Amino acid sequence: MVLLGERGSESGAAGTDHVSVANVAGAAEATAHLLARGRRRPAFLGAQPDAPPGTALLRQRGFERALDEAGLPSRPGWLLATPHYTRRAGADAVEAVLARLGEVDAVVCGNDDLALGVMHAFRRNGVRVPDDVAVVGWDNTEAGRYAAPTLSTVAPDLDALAVLAVDRLIARVQGDTSAAEHHTIAHRLLVRESSDVRG
């Protein structure tokens, strides 16, 4: 057996091969990118406080780590919870905080679907992306590449994830009894229009 994904930390279950995405590092890089662009009041969309520890919590930790490293406070009121990682959930979350949206100049989203919902709600309410609020997603989905504006996103190397997982599985089937291995795949931050104001 080879585990894919997260189990509340960046390490796998004891005794089991594990291949995961660098959620903390990826979210920290996305947040640091926004801070480097002059944003100082970012929000994180995708918190799931009632869910078991997993991807959402790891990405939130990365967001908070980048703020801490920049000497900025984490603002609990802007760790926005969503019941699902869907476009509708992203749009609904924005609609719920419109009255205090002036407190935010960037949103790091747990995935691209949330980010696309956010941008839809912003457009519907006259909020300009990225001029008023920058947005970054996660997953490098096709929809994000064709959005208007195009969506900045964290792109995990899913091909590498598949290759590593299958290689470890084949090795075990062929009798490899070495200690369990944990692999974290690479990612890239793809900076597009949603977070990059060009003057």
Question: Measuring CA to CA, which residue among 111, 91, 104, 133 is closest to residue 26?
Answer: 111
Q: What number does CATH give the domain 23-155+187-195?
A: 3.40.50.2300
What confidence score (pLDDT) does residue 114 get? Answer: 98
Q: Tens-of-pLDDT digits for all 199 residues of the chain?
A: 888 876 544 444 567 888 889 999 999 999 999 999 999 999 999 999 887 788 999 999 999 999 999 999 989 999 999 999 999 999 999 999 999 999 999 999 999 999 999 999 999 999 999 999 999 999 999 999 999 999 999 999 988 888 988 988 898 899 988 988 888 899 999 999 999 865 3
What confidence score (pLDDT) does residue 3 get? Answer: 83
Tell me if 117 sits within 8 A of 91, measured CB to CB.
yes
DSSP string covering 167-196, please?
HHHHHHHTT--SPP-EEEE-EEEE--GGG-
The b/e string for 8-22 (b: 16+ C-beta within 10 A; e otherwise) is eebebeeeebbbbbb
What confidence score (pLDDT) does residue 9 get? Answer: 47
Please compute, for residue 138, the number of CA atoms within 13 A of its CA located in the half-sphere on the CB side.
31
Extents of the domains making up the chain: 23-155+187-195
Question: Would the pTM of this model clear 0.75, i.e. be above it?
Answer: yes
